[in-house]
Amino acid sequence: MNTGTELSDFNVTMSNKLVRASHALNLTEKRLIAAAIAKVDSRKGQVVHAHLSDFKKVRITALDYAEAYGVDPKHAYSDLKEAADDLFNRQITITEYSKKGHERYIKMRWVGSVKYAKAEGFVELSFTPEVYPHLHMLKREYTTYRLKNAAALRSTYSWRMYELAKSWLEHCTKTNKAVQLTLEQLRDTLETPESYRWDHMKKRAIDPAIKEIATKDNLIITYQPYKKGRAVAGIHLFVEEDEQQDLFK
């Protein structure tokens, strides 16, 4: 990039379906994917001759990664390579519903190929055609955030909760109503272990994530559990922006 603008200043934009899907990504993989999507955002406005070429050969350098996430440049390339190795085998599971309300599951992969260049200090990803529609020319039902806002988060649960909250922010703002999420939906989105009961999810994932987000962004996330019988079945989630905190940023 010749503009002098840092990668962390660009946006990460995905469809809400992709944000709320099950990814099973660790923190380093999340960072790599977010950096790659931000790279696509950085190219907006440039002349592109080949359709969807923005999504092919997205190069992330060790320097990009180190600067965006505040990691030691000496370890940045090894982090990138390890994340790219794992990412190549990762699946995304998206849940859709037919007109009659029947569940449909779609499985896809993030990337179709990965190039490694240790001596030159970069990895290069090519997003799969199935992922393109969830990143490209989105006009509605999408989530966007500045990469630098998520880069400060140090937990996978915090990042996933941050994206989930962002995906429901417009709904909560417009309707002034909470959104109902089942425990299974939360488990899939936050990627908590199947063995986690509600108490475990609350103590180890949800509450710590909300607490960290509150210290590093202007999102206010609140929730209220609801029950079926005696067991917690899910939560009512409400998201809003703290406009007063924005004044001091």
% of the chain beyond a pLDDT of 70: 90
Q: Which helix (H) or strand (E) holds 201?
A: helix 198-201
pTM of the model: 0.85
Please tell me the predicted confidence (pLDDT) of residue 48.
42
Mean pLDDT, residues 214-231 taken together: 94
DSSP single-letter state for residue 140: S
User: What average pLDDT does the segment 66-81 reach?
Assistant: 93
Burial track 218-241 (b if 16+ CB lie within 10 A, e otherwise): bbebebeeeeeeeebebbebbbee
Number of Cβ atoms within 10 Å of the Cβ of 89:
9
**Measured at the alpha carbon of residue 186, what is the angle toward residues 213 and 176, in degrees to the nearest 5?**
65
Confidence grade of residue 242 (pLDDT, cut at 50, 70, 90): confident
Per-residue model confidence (pLDDT) at position 51: 45
pLDDT of 42 > 90? The answer is no
70: left (phi over 0), alpha (psi -120 to 50) or beta: left
Q: Which two tokens stand for residue 45?
A: 């406005």
